[in-house]
């Protein structure tokens, strides 16, 4: 059965009040829509862990540092609702832009440290936008648990930090990255790839897996990254934002294999920015 779509905060609050007073746990899965199996895997984990599940769909303008990227972002609400129908979510919350950010909106949530590297360095203001909207969604849904993908690993760390720092009583749960058969991490942005680019896209994951192997053989990042970057560019990627090894906890930069190391990559392919990360 198709879950009801709620667009007003008042309606959402009326429901969550009833659920909480009945002692039911509430889970939230924040998304920007254009749902794929990666999103649906979070919903399944949420359904297993919580009596009630809210999926939010909001293409958050504050986290886009590029107007064209915001305009091009796929919007597929009807299909999204259809995909969620078989998963028995309780509500799809699709707030209006002016309800989220009225004209006099003046607050910014900013997490320092974790955000000045990787996607934070490549996309100025992006994580302030994420932190601000996620804080609002946590407070609006009053959820007990929130489910985020490791696909956006830095985002997962940022969101975990802000919930702890702001004493928001919510447990942030990280869920594994879901991939296409050819290894490409699922992403709404993959819809923007032409057929030709889609064939090239899995090379990012392939190159990252090869880097992981070389690190495990004892090589240093400095020895590996120039060739890995050249491979991506030779295959038709336009630019590589980063290929970096970092600690999977505090994201400090590493030059070689260490326990809990994680490899992060971001590269541009025909105007689409692809990101990925893997445990090494």
Residues forming contacts to ligand AMP in the complex (CB under 6 A) are 31-32, 38-39, 41-42, 148-149, 151-152, 175, 177-178, 185-188
Q: Considering beta carbons, is residue 172 or 257 the nearer one to ligand AMP?
A: 172
In whole angstroms, the minimum distance from the beta carbon of 41 to ligand AMP comes to 6
- Whose structure tokens read 């804080």? 135
| 39 a catalytic residue | yes
Nearer to ligand AMP, 119 or 185 (CB): 185
Distance from chain centroid for Cα 108: 19
| Residue whose CB is less far from ligand AMP, 179 or 256 | 179
* Residue 12 structure tokens: 């959402």
Please identify, using beta-carbon distances, which residue of 32 and 278 lies nearer to ligand AMP: 32
Q: Kindly state the smallest distance separating residue 168's Cβ from ligand AMP, in Å.
A: 16
Indicate which residue of 36, 39, 78, 126 is catalytic: 39
Nearest distance, CB of residue 129 and ligand AMP, angstroms: 11
The span from the CA of 250 to the CA of 246, in Å, is 8
Minimum CB–partner distance for residue 1 and ligand AMP (Å) = 23
Residues labelled as active-site residues? 39
């Amino acid at each position: 059965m198709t879950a009801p779509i709620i667009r007003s905060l008042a309606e959402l609050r009326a429901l969550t009040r009833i659920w909480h007073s009945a002692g039911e746990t509430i889970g939230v899965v924040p998304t920007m829509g254009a749902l794929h199996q990666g999103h649906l895997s979070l919903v399944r984990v949420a359904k297993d862990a919580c009596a009630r599940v809210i999926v939010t769909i909001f293409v958050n303008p504050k986290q886009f540092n590029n107007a064209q990227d915001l305009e091009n972002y796929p919007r597929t609400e009807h299909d999204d609702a259809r995909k969620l129908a078989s998963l028995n979510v309780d509500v799809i919350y699709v707030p209006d832009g002016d309800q989220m950010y009225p004209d006099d909106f003046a607050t910014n949530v900013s997490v320092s440290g974790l955000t000045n590297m990787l996607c934070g360095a490549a996309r100025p203001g992006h994580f302030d936008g994420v932190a601000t909207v996620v804080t609002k969604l946590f407070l609006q849904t009053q959820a007990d648990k929130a489910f985020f993908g490791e696909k956006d690993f830095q985002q997962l760390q940022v969101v975990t930090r802000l919930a702890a720092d702001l004493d928001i009583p919510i447990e942030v749960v990280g869920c594994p990255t879901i991939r296409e058969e050819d290894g490409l991490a699922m992403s709404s942005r993959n819809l923007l790839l032409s057929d030709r680019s889609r064939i090239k896209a899995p090379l990012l994951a392939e190159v990252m897996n090869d880097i992981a192997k070389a690190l495990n053989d004892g090589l240093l990042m400095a020895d590996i990254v120039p060739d890995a970057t050249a491979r991506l560019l030779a295959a038709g990627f336009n630019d590589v934002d980063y290929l970096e090894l970092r600690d999977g906890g505090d994201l400090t930069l590493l030059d070689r294999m260490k326990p809990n190391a994680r490899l992060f990559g971001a590269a541009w392919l025909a105007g689409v920015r692809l990101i990925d990360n893997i445990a090494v």
